[in-house]
Structure 1
Amino acid sequence: MEPHSSGTTPLSLNTKNWVERISNIFRKEIAINIDHLPPVCVFEVPKMLTVQNPEAYTPQLLALGPYHHLRPEVYQMERYKLAAIKEISTPEQIFNFQHLVINKLKEIDPHTRASYNKFLDYDQDTLAWIIAIDGCFFLHVARSFVVHDEATDKRLLENTIVIRDMMMLENQIPFILLKKIRKSLRVSNKNDDSNEGEEDIELISLLLQFCEAQSPVKFFIDQTNEDSYRRPLHLLDLMYHMIVNVSKYMSGSLLENLSIQGVPLYSKFRNSLISSSSTSSSDKEDPNVVHNNLETILELVESFGTKRTQAVIRPVQIISSIPWSTISGLFRKANLRMGEGNSENNEIAIPSVSHLWRYAKVQCKPFIGSINQIKFVDKEATLYLPVMNLNASSEVILRNLVAYEAAMSKSTLEFARYINLMNGIIDTAEDVKLLKQNGVIKGSLMDDEIADQFNGMKRCYTSSDQKSNIEIAIQKVNKFCDKKLLVWTIRGLKRNLYASRKYLALISTVALLVVLSMLTFCEFYQCSKIWSFNNES
């Protein structure tokens, strides 16, 4: 009986502890008003995305928040986090840290848990310490971008991996928690008489400057009107709305229109991101059948024909050995770049930058602002695009912005449309070079690296929205290109050549048989003597 009791005791204890913990939570949270809880804003990225590119969604060096804080791989940053608390705190505040910060965070424990869509299997003390340590470190790094002093550790600011990890969706710390930590550390400062409104403005200003420095898409900050910006949900949320539509974000109208929920996240990702489509099988007949029959005929004629006939067949065999199917495949790829049949490449139907300029004389010009200002002007033959500043962390930020947008319950997927547009107009390093020359793309990345970055991002599924300025711009570009005689001619030639290659092969086969028949006839009836007789007469 002893082995049996030793095997069941841990299970009994775990069950008892679970019941006690749940009953305590139930008693404490029964009086909480659910309507006053913050919206879910920090999501766990589905495995279907992390499998494709784990480094883009999983912190490699720095963990912020409860999702990754206790992972052994990122624990080496703990000493930097503790040092950050000393940087933003006085000795007295450090001595009373438990009372000033930890206890205050424990009071809003339901708000903390409500901000994350994943169940947090931590007690109040553990969760409060995680948020406090990571929140202080985040505030220290964000402050370092504004206040450049000698005491600041420049290695953190210059570390691309640290900045990249801070922008990941699973690494976000809600604004309400950052505000609580910042306010708790200021309570003991008798000289600080700032009210709650000023606290929000200062923290938002801090996050705005951090976003401005790290955003791949450059936007405009109205520093004279910083008090009109609404409170963001977290850093990534602020960057997203500054990129998509800063005017609505300043007016605060998005506060009601963009609610967040965590339940449908996985199902939305299945519908919002499509995988590479299989090759089209519209042709019912094998295009190589005629070509193979021609080779068979040539082999038979060569075996039984005369020497002169064999001499004529040899050059024909060389021509027949040319891989015409491969050549026709090249024409099909050219059609894709010209904006036809892009479903095979998983791109939207729009020509690349180089083809826009080469065939339609359409150029791309830059502007600094939100992507809702993207437009195409027919009279100028110009597509206006926001300036992008791309570096080693840009791809991670772009991917996490797309993931965050897909998690929004009422999102219009405007950022996904923008990524689709950039993915469609950038095919090669030549396209990136033209965008750099026009000032649309800046940064330290090489042309081929930027091209690979956008080509590696799969197209996001977005329903056709006629009201979207990006959809309208794409339609105008395609309509403008269709009117150009050169574009129309090239497309027509490629389309007709691809469609008629079977008939060309059949015609060449018939013509070859006629020539071979005439040669055989002349060999048998000695046509040369007949021609010489006619010439003598």
Structure 2
Amino acid sequence: MLPKKPIISSAEQHSFDETRWVINVQKSLDAEIEEHDLEEVTVSIFNVPKALMCSHPDSYTPHRVSIGPYHCLKPELHEMERYKLMIARKTRNQSKSFKFHDLVEKLQSIEIKIRACYHKYIGFNGETLLWIMAVDSSFLIEFLKIYSFRKVETLINRVGHNEILRDIMMIENQIPLFVLRKTLEFQLESTESADDLLVSVLTGLCRDLSPLVIKLDDDEILKAQFHECNHILDFLYQMIVPRIEEEELEEEEDEENRADDNGGNRAIRFLEEIKHQFKRVFASRPADLILRFPWRIISNLPGFMALKLSADYLFTRQENEATTTRRESSSSVSIPDIEKPPLVEELTIPSVSDLHKAGVRFKPTTHGNISTVTFDSNSGQFHLPVINLDINTETVLRNLVAYEATNTSGPLVFTRYTELINGIIDSEEDVRLLREQGVLVSRLKSDQEAAEMWNGMSKSVRLTKVGFLDKTIEDVNRYYTGRWKVKIGRLVEVYVYGSWQILAFLAAVLLLMLVSLQLFSLVFSSFLRFRTG
């Protein structure tokens, strides 16, 4: 007979929770950690915003392996836990002096720093959290060592390797980079050797997974940047996204303000005001009566009821559309802003095929950084970094966007770049043109799959402006609209295809005039025959 479990009352349970809370607070306050160390630590491992998680949850939820405390002990990831322990035993057996208990004790001094990196509250106690860090960091280092020996091709085709790669690049599946550095330092017993190996594996990983073809040649610069990075995803972000300082932002705002005061913008505002007043005059009731009066007299003649219906539809359609617009705007105002989804903006920029027809040529840049996105208005050349697409790219792109949205309070540079590419890629024809001009390297099954991937990247947490990218978009649009082929096409579209109601009205008037002329000729000929007869 099994012994009965002791029954704990709610009051005793509440008292137990209070006691555990006090113990945890005492441990945190008594921990020996320098204040300046905590000041250097920033929250860098966030939960994915709900708007992004709802749009594509598979790109943010690990499928094979958990790294760190957020997804630890999930049943669907249990199979990989045994593999992680096997790697941990292998690491221990490689060195007789290496013991995981010693590593956990080494990490105990930075437990507060580790917790400070996570935005979400970590419910694990100190010992559990440190063991998670010790096992996961050892597994991650062993898994990434292949990139330091330039043997990436030997592992790429192994089953599950790409799934693990996608998992370790997810924003919620990160551990602080200083934990990896501490673990390697403990294994190699040398800080310099640990830094060299860590920089080597991270650069190899970035070359393989980066959505932009980047050049990472200067080891000294990489080491300096490495110490400023928070985790693996942040390391990749720092490699492909240029830093925009506050001074540069202020200069861009000043330039925009000066541009708003020039004569060209005043002329545009003056023309817009004239257009507005013109619409007000012709939308007034007296003007409406004057325009309708001749038609009412003509439409009462026999045989012109059909023309009357067409004209009534023409005159009343604008009024009905205006009423509908007012109703929709009033109903949208009543919806609370908190219930509205994030705004989705596809940039107002022509597609690759349209730009190509207008004479724009796409040129790949050699550096790979987003700062190389430029447009030369004189030659019509659109410079873009080389885009590398494979089965891992979508997950990496989405997590970089999510990381930037949660970690950056300034302009979302990478998000704006994805919006730019999403704006110029609409179809498989656009992808084909970019491939042929060397801007895009695709390892996906088809160009249509690549186009669908980019078109699904339009979801953003908030809209933002980035000076050099917005200037490039403005230059492209100005060049495109200034081409004579585009001007003729737009004139035909606006004044022919877009004005079929007016053309129908003019045709009706012309028909009326012809019928009247024929009627007059019949009457006049009859009158002549009557006089001569």
TM-score grouping bracket, smaller chain normalisation: 0.7 to 0.9
C-alpha displacement of 1:127: 0.4
Structure 1 residue 353: Cα displacement: 0.6
1:205 maps to 2:208: no
2:46 is paired with a residue of what secondary structure? coil
Partner of 1:74: 77
Q: After superposition, what is the alpha-carbon deviation per residue over 1:445-486, rounded to whole angstroms, capped at 9, x for unaligned? A: 1211111111111264554444x2x22222221222222111
Distance (whole Å) between structure 1 residues aligned to residue 351 and residue 443 of structure 2? 22
Residue correspondences, number: 445
**Could you tell me whether the CA contact under 8 Å between 2:33 and 2:109 is conserved in 1?**
no
Q: What's the offset of the Cα at 1:157?
A: 7.6
Superposed, which structure 2 residues align to 1:93-112 within 5 Å? 93=96, 97-112=99-114
More off after superposition, 445-454 vs 17-26 = 17-26
Structure 1 portions without partners, runs of 5+: 188-193, 258-281, 286-296, 326-343
Q: Deviations over 1:411-437 (max 9, x none)?
A: 432212211110111111110010011
8 Å contact kept, 2:88–2:139: yes
**Aligned in 2, Cα 1:518/1:13: closer, same or farther, shift over 3 Å?**
farther
* Alignment CA distance shift 1:515-1:92 (3 Å): same
Deviations 1:476-518 (A, max 9, x none): 2122222211112212332334663442343344455667778
Q: Distance in 2 between matches of 1:34 and 1:224?
A: 26
Please name the residue that 1:433 is paired with: 432
In the TM superposition, residue 346 of structure 1 has moved relative to its aligned partner by 2.8
Q: Who is 2:238 aligned against?
A: 241
Letter aligned with residue 242 of structure 1: M
User: 1:391–1:33: structure 2 CA closer, same or farther, 3 Å change rule?
Assistant: same
For residues 67-109 of structure 1, give each alpha carbon's deviation from its aligned partner in whole angstroms, at most 9, with x where no partner exists.
111211212111221122244343555x853333111112210
Q: Structure 1 residues 178, 148: CA separation in 2 closer, same or farther (over 3 Å shift)?
A: same
The 3 A distance-change label for structure 1 pair 516 and 61 is farther
Distance 2:143 2:54 in 1: 30
Q: Secondary structure at the match of 2:55?
A: coil
Aligned to 1:184: 186
- Once residues 129 and 11 of structure 2 are traced to their aligned partners in structure 1, the CA distance between those partners, rounded to angstroms, is 30
Distance 2:162 2:156 in 1: 12
Secondary structure, counterpart of 2:201 in structure 1: helix
Amino acid across the alignment from 1:408: N
- Report what 1:450 is aligned to: 450
Matched position secondary structure for 1:389: strand
**Is the CA contact 1:29–1:110 (under 8 Å) kept in the aligned structure 2?**
no
Give the conservation status (yes or no) of the 8 Å contact 2:362–2:382: yes
* 1:104-183 equivalences in 2 (<5 Å): 104-147=106-149, 159-183=161-185
For residue 361 of structure 2, what is the aligned residue in structure 1?
A: 363
The superposition leaves residues 351-382 of structure 1 with CA deviations (integer Å, 9 ceiling, x where unpaired) of: 111001112x1011112321111111233321
- Higher mean Cα deviation, 411-420 or 431-440? 411-420
Q: Against the structure 1 CA distance between its residues 6 and 448, is the aligned structure 2 distance closer, same or farther, given a 3 Å change threshold?
A: same
**Given the two structures, how large is their TM-score scaled by the length of structure 2?**
0.72
Q: 2:384 is paired with a residue of what secondary structure?
A: strand
Whether contact under 8 Å (1:156, 1:162) holds in the other structure is no
Aligned letter for 2:447? D
Q: CA deviation at 1:442?
A: 0.8
Q: 2:59 aligned to 48, 56, 60, which one?
A: 56
Q: Is the 8 A contact 2:390 2:443 kept in 1?
A: yes
Query: Once superposed, what is the RMSD of the aligned Cα atoms?
Result: 4.0
Cα 1:240–1:7 shift into 2, 3 Å: closer
Report the AA paired with residue 244 of structure 1. Answer: V
Q: 1:450 to 1:153 in 2, by over 3 A?
A: closer
The 3 A distance-change label for structure 1 pair 7 and 40 is: closer
Deviates more, 1:507-516 or 1:5-14: 507-516
1:135-534 equivalence runs, <5 A: 135-147=137-149, 159-187=161-189, 194=190, 196-223=191-218, 225=220, 226-231=222-227, 232-245=229-242, 346-359=345-358, 361-369=359-367, 370-445=369-444, 446-458=446-458, 460=460, 461-466=462-467, 468=468, 470-497=469-496, 500-511=499-510, 530=526
- How far apart, CA to CA, are the structure 2 residues paired with 1:197 and 1:149? 23
Letter in 1 for 2:43: V
In 1, the alpha carbon distance for the partners of 2:440 and 2:176 equals: 31
**Cα distance change, pair 529–435 in 1 and its aligned pair in 2 (3 A):** same
Task: Tell whether the 8 Å contact from 1:100 to 1:184 is kept in structure 2 after alignment.
Answer: no
Q: Against the structure 1 CA distance between its residues 351 and 115, is the aligned structure 2 distance closer, same or farther, given a 3 Å change threshold?
A: same
Shift of 1:398: 0.7
Aligned to 1:13: 16
Q: Name stretches of at least 5 consecutive residues in structure 2 with no aligned partner.
A: 1-5, 249-275, 284-295, 319-342
Deviation digits for residues 152-203 of structure 1 (CA, Å, limit 9, x no counterpart): 877668632211111111112211000011111223xxxxxx4x34432331
In structure 2, relative to structure 1, the CA distance for the partners of 1:137 and 1:530 (3 Å cut) is: farther
Conservation of the 8 A alpha-carbon contact between 1:89 and 1:185: no
- Relative to structure 1, the CA distance from residue 230 to residue 10 in structure 2 (aligned partners, 3 Å threshold; closer, same or farther) is closer
Letter in 2 for 1:114: A
SS at match of 1:90: helix
Counterpart-to-counterpart distance in 2, 1:475 and 1:516: 52
- Relative to structure 1, is the Cα distance of residues 375 and 531 closer, same or farther in structure 2, using a 3 angstrom cutoff? farther
CA contact under 8 A between 1:87 and 1:140: conserved in structure 2?
no
- Tell me, in whole angstroms, the C-alpha distance in 1 between the residues paired with 2:23 and 2:76: 32
Counterpart-to-counterpart distance in 2, 1:372 and 1:123? 44
- Are the structure 2 counterparts of residues 46 and 410 from structure 1 closer, same or farther at C-alpha, using a change threshold of 3 Å? closer
- Check the 8 A contact 2:442/2:450 in 1, yes or no: no
CA distance in 2, matches of 1:417, 1:147: 35
